[in-house]
Amino acid sequence: MASDRHNPCLFLLPKSATPSNAHGGELGLECTQIDLITHTKTQITFFLNPSRGVNELFVDGHACVSHGALVLIVGGYSASGSGGIHILNTATRQWTAGPKMLFPRGSFAWGVIGNRLYMAGGIGPSGNIQETEAYDFETGELWAVAALPVSMAVDVFFVFSNKLCVRGWVRERGGRSAESKSRCLRYCPDRNAWHNDPWMQKVVKRVPRMTRFKFAVTSDEELYRAELKTDNLSWKKPWTVFVHKLDRENFEWKQFFNIIDSEVPNHCECPAAEREVRFFACRDKLVALMHHDDPDEGEVTPLIDKITEVSFLCPFKWASAAILYA
């Protein structure tokens, strides 16, 4: 039974394509879609488009972007190659090769505003990238928009009030050594311009540099961050997702809820170094992807009115994840 197309779904993409016996050994991505309302799990296989190589998928620093029924695997850059734009239509189960990136990049800021995806900064062949580009979901066009004022390494970004908010680090030379200083910027699509963002500077004032925190903005414009931590040295011990909510009046992060993960089961091989919180906004709620003890089962559990836990295999088994119909 397929998920109701109007229900929000968690969509999980595996790290590699596998041969399909039903299609003569043709390589396919065996993805999993979990309806967050009915809790129905659906397997969807996308057969790889021959015009693009498998090595273009899930390049280091890629982004996984959703828009309605579409999931886009975007960009990524490493010494061995760079990624383009790959479009997976979960309604038609077709994979379409999108345009090549104008500026190859990985670890970049991105955000969906209206019917467009904006991509800014990141790391490319010549180091930090200054250029910004936009992709239109309806026309499939990709074009350059206003560039960042400076090249910088991005570590925090999210869309708030229809603006792309970004914190990056700029290398400034002075005296005997080079220092990196933070800079917060906001892209305004209606003006096609970047501006300094004092509000963002206050929001991330106590957020560590190159943080692994994940940020999420819900449809009621509340801002949350999540962090995965443990007090145990063994990666097999339970980890906890600490969720904080921004007090916008005082610019303070207040603890909102803690989600305790199960002990990492024996069938799971995820190393501690790769344990990174999978945390998403879903309309006016939040979703966290956690471990499940049984490799053949999984469950969707509302923890409180605002947060839903999805426990399914190992969160690090998946190359990427996204929320459909968010």
Among all chains, which residue has been given the structure tokens 């467009």? 116
Q: Is the predicted pLDDT of residue 298 greater than 90, yes or no?
A: no
Query: Do 132 and 148 form a contact (C-beta atoms < 8 A)?
Result: yes
| Overall average pLDDT of the 249-275 stretch | 76
- The pLDDT score that the predictor gives to residue 2 is 44
Q: How many residues does the chain have?
A: 326
Among all chains, which residue has been given the structure tokens 């992709």? 135
Question: Residue 97's pLDDT band (boundaries 50, 70, 90)?
Answer: confident
Query: Do 309 and 292 form a contact (C-beta atoms < 8 A)?
Result: no
Out of 91-100, 157-166, 207-216, give the one with best mean pLDDT. Answer: 157-166
Q: Is the predicted pLDDT of residue 231 greater than 80, yes or no?
A: no
| Overall average pLDDT of the 217-227 stretch | 95
Q: Is the predicted pLDDT of residue 11 greater than 90, yes or no?
A: yes
Q: Is the predicted pLDDT of residue 47 greater than 70, yes or no?
A: yes
| Overall average pLDDT of the 174-178 stretch | 54
| Overall average pLDDT of the 176-188 stretch | 83
- The pLDDT score that the predictor gives to residue 299 is 87
Per DSSP, the residues of 180-223 read EEEEEEEEETTTTEEEE-HHHHHHTTTSPTT---EEEE-TT--E
Angstrom distance (rounded) from CA 309 to CA 10: 11
Question: Residue 1's pLDDT band (boundaries 50, 70, 90)?
Answer: very low
Q: Is the predicted pLDDT of residue 282 greater than 80, yes or no?
A: yes
> What is the chain's mean pLDDT, rounded?
86
Angstrom distance (rounded) from CA 102 to CA 289: 33
Amino acid at 279: F
Q: Is the predicted pLDDT of residue 117 greater than 60, yes or no?
A: yes
Q: Is the predicted pLDDT of residue 280 greater than 90, yes or no?
A: yes
- The pLDDT score that the predictor gives to residue 240 is 85
Q: Which of 177-191, 257-271, 283-297, 309-323 has the lowest mean pLDDT?
A: 257-271
Q: Which two tokens stand for residue 138?
A: 């309806």
User: What residue segments make up the domains of the chain, in order of their start?
Assistant: 212-326
Alpha-carbon distances of 281 from 90, 141, 174, 182, 278, rounded to whole Å: 19, 27, 41, 26, 11
- The pLDDT score that the predictor gives to residue 22 is 66
Out of 39-53, 61-75, 221-235, give the one with best mean pLDDT. Answer: 61-75
> For a pLDDT cut of 70, what percent of the chain falls above it?
84
- The pLDDT score that the predictor gives to residue 87 is 93
| Overall average pLDDT of the 39-68 stretch | 82
Angstrom distance (rounded) from CA 121 to CA 194: 12
| Overall average pLDDT of the 248-256 stretch | 94
Q: Write the CB contacts of 210 (distance below 8 Å, at least 6 apart in sequence).
A: 153, 155, 169
Q: Is the predicted pLDDT of residue 232 greater than 70, yes or no?
A: no
Angstrom distance (rounded) from CA 199 to CA 22: 54
